[in-house]
C-alpha cells in the first residue's frame, strides 16, 4: 500500500466504467447531466474520494470496517482514504483528519466519532463545504449533526442480551453483576439500559448485586469480576459491555470455580467472542455488522457523487443473537453461523 500512486489509473478506469454504467441505467433521469456539470474532480474523470475516520487503527472492529470499506470502494470504482484517531477520545486527531479530507476534495466522510459532541464544528464545516458526513457505529449528539447514521441499534442489542440471560436463568431469581464500559459513553448507556429492559429490571432493582466500569478492557474486567465475586459469590448472571469484558469475567469465574451456574451474556460478534460462545465460556453474544456499516456508507457517498442524493436519518445495520443454547421466543443463530459471519 505504500505505493497508492500506482493504483489510481486502474481505479480511474473502473470509475469511468462504473459511472458510464450508472448513466446508462439512469438514462431517463437528470443524473448524468448533473454529474457532468458537477465539480471538476468528476469532470476530470478521477475516482470519487471517500474518507473513513475510525476511532483508532488497532481495534479489530475498526480494522474490519476499514477492510469492508476498501473492498466496497474498489467494487464501486471509488478511492478510499482511511484515517483514524490515535486513541479513544482523540478528538483533535479526528478533527484534523476531517479537515485534511475536506482539503483534498473528498465527496463524503464516514466517521465513527470518538466524542459525540467534540467534533461537531468540524463536521459542520465539512458539510458547508459540500461534503456529506455519515456517522458509523456511534451517533453524534444531536443525531442530525451528520447527514445520516449507519449503526447498530445498541439499545436493541442490549435488550437481546438481557432477554436471553433472563430466559436462560429460567426459574432462578436473578442475581446480576454488570460489567459496564465507560461512564457517560452513549453506546455504553444504550447497551446497559437495553440489558436491564430485556431483564425486566431497572437500575435500582435489588437483583443487581454489583456494577463495575471496565472500559471494555479484558484485564480490568477480570479484576472487577474477581472483586465482585469475593463479595458476592452467589452471582448467577453477568452483563458484559463487550466480548473482551466477557472473557475477563469468564477467567475470574473459572479461577473461582464458579463457571457452572453463572450465565454470561455479551455483545459484539468478533470472531474471538463467537469462539468463546462455541467454547462455552460465554453463553450468548449479540453480533454487530461493521462491514455492513462501511459498505452502506461507501455506497451512499458514491450515490451522492453520482446524482446528489443524500442519505438521511438512522439506519439500523442489525443485531443478531448468537448462542448454542437457544431459548424459545428469541431468534438466534448458532456459533457455527457466527464463526462464518464474525468480524476481526
Partner 1 sequence: MTSTSDTTPTRRGATSATRWADLARNPLVGPLAALVVAVVAFSLITDTFLRPANLSLILQQSVVIGILAVAQTVVILTAGIDLSIGAVAVLGTIILAKVGGSHGPEVAIVAAVVTLVLVGLVNGALVAWVHLPPFIVTLGVFTAMYAATQLYAGSQVYPVDKGILTWLGTKLSAGGLTITTGVLAMLAIYLVAWYVLSQTAAGRHLYAVGGAPEAARLSGIRSGRVLVLTYLAAGLIAAVAAWAALGRIPNADPNAYQNANLETITAVVIGGTSLFGGRGSVLGTLAGTLIVAVLRNGLTQAGVDNLYQNIATGVLVIAAVALDQVSRRRVQT
Residue ranges that bind partner 1, judged by CB under 8 A:
1-2, 4-5, 57, 79, 81-84, 86-92, 95-97, 99-101, 103-105, 114-115, 117-119, 121-122, 182-184
SS3 263: strand
Residue 139 or 262 with smaller CB distance to partner 1: 139
User: From the CB of 192, what's the least distance to partner 1, in Å?
Assistant: 15
Angle of the 271-278 helix axis to the 243-255 helix axis, nearest 10: 40
Q: Which is nearer to partner 1, 50 or 160 (CB)?
A: 50
Pick between residue 57 and residue 324 the one whose CB is nearest to partner 1: 57
| Cα gap 147→107, rounded to integer Å | 13
Q: Which is nearer to partner 1, 106 or 322 (CB)?
A: 106
Q: How far is the CB of 282 from partner 1 (least distance, A)?
A: 27
d(CA 199, CA 119): 35
Of 57 and 193, CB closest to partner 1: 57
Would you say 291 and 64 are in contact if contact means Cβ atoms under 8 Å apart?
yes
Segments of the chain assigned E as strands? 49-54, 79-84, 108-111, 132-136, 148-151, 176-180, 208-213, 237-240, 263-268, 284-287, 313-316, 320-323
Q: Report the candidate in 310, 302, 304 with the shortest Cα–Cα distance to residue 79.
A: 302
Q: How far is the CB of 120 from partner 1 (least distance, A)?
A: 8
Cell, residue 237: 448472571
Minimum CB separation from partner 1 for residue 96, in Å? 5
Q: Provide the minimum distance between the beta carbon of 114 and partner 1 in the complex, in angstroms, as a whole number.
A: 8
CB of 1 to partner 1, least distance (A): 5
Minimum CB separation of residue 38 from partner 1 in Å reads: 17
CB nearer to partner 1: pick between 2 and 27:
2
Least distance between partner 1 and beta carbon 193 (Å): 18
Sort 104 into a burial class: Cβ within 10 Å, 0-12 / 13-18 / 19+: exposed
Shortest distance, position 104 Cβ to partner 1, whole Å: 5
Degrees to nearest 5, angle at CA 248 with 245 and 252? 140
The nearer residue to partner 1, 84 or 136, going by C-beta atoms, is 84
Closest CB to partner 1 among residues 37, 44 = 44
What value does the CA radius of gyration of the chain take, rounded to a whole number of Å?
22
Q: How far apart are the C-alpha atoms of 20 and 23, rounded to whole Å?
A: 5
* Orientation of helix 218-231 relative to helix 243-255, angle to 10°: 40
Residue nearer to partner 1 on the CB measure, 76 or 281: 76
Q: In sequence order, which residues have a C-beta less than 8 Å from that of residue 325 and are 6 or more positions away?
A: 168, 283, 284
Amino acid at each position: 500500500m505504500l505505493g497508492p500512486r500506482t493504483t489510481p489509473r486502474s481505479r480511474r478506469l473502473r470509475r469511468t466504467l462504473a459511472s458510464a454504467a450508472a448513466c446508462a441505467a439512469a438514462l431517463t433521469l437528470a443524473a448524468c447531466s448533473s454529474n457532468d456539470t458537477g465539480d471538476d474532480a468528476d469532470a476530470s474523470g478521477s475516482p470519487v474520494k471517500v474518507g473513513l475516520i475510525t476511532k483508532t487503527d488497532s481495534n479489530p472492529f475498526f480494522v474490519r470496517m476499514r477492510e469492508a470499506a476498501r473492498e466496497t470502494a474498489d467494487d464501486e470504482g471509488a478511492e478510499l482514504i482511511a484515517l483514524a484517531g490515535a486513541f479513544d477520545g482523540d478528538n483533535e486527531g479526528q478533527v484534523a483528519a476531517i479537515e485534511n479530507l475536506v482539503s483534498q476534495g473528498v465527496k463524503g466522510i464516514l466517521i465513527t466519532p470518538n466524542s459525540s459532541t467534540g467534533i461537531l464544528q468540524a463536521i459542520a464545516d465539512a458539510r458547508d463545504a459540500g461534503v456529506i458526513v455519515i456517522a458509523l457505529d456511534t451517533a453524534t449528539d444531536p443525531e442530525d449533526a451528520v447527514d445520516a447514521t449507519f449503526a447498530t441499534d445498541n439499545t436493541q442489542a442490549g435488550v437481546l442480551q438481557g432477554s436471553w440471560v433472563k430466559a436462560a436463568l429460567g426459574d432462578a431469581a436473578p442475581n446480576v453483576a454488570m460489567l459496564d464500559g465507560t461512564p457517560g459513553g452513549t453506546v455504553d448507556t444504550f447497551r446497559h439500559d437495553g440489558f436491564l429492559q430485556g431483564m425486566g429490571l431497572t437500575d435500582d432493582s435489588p437483583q443487581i448485586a454489583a456494577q463495575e466500569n471496565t472500559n471494555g478492557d479484558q484485564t480490568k474486567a477480570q479484576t472487577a469480576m474477581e472483586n465482585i465475586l469475593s463479595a458476592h459469590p452467589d452471582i448467577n448472571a453477568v452483563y458484559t459491555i463487550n466480548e473482551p469484558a466477557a472473557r475477563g469475567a469468564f477467567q475470574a469465574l473459572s479461577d473461582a470455580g464458579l463457571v457452572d451456574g453463572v450465565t454470561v451474556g455479551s455483545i459484539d460478534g468478533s470472531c474471538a467472542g463467537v469462539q468463546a460462545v462455541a467454547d462455552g465460556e460465554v453463553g450468548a453474544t449479540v453480533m454487530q455488522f461493521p462491514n455492513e456499516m462501511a459498505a452502506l456508507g461507501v455506497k451512499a457517498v458514491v450515490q451522492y457523487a453520482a446524482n446528489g442524493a443524500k442519505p438521511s436519518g438512522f439506519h439500523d445495520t442489525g443485531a443478531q443473537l448468537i448462542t448454542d443454547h437457544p431459548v424459545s421466543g428469541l431468534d438466534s443463530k448458532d456459533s457455527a453461523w457466527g464463526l462464518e459471519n464474525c468480524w476481526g
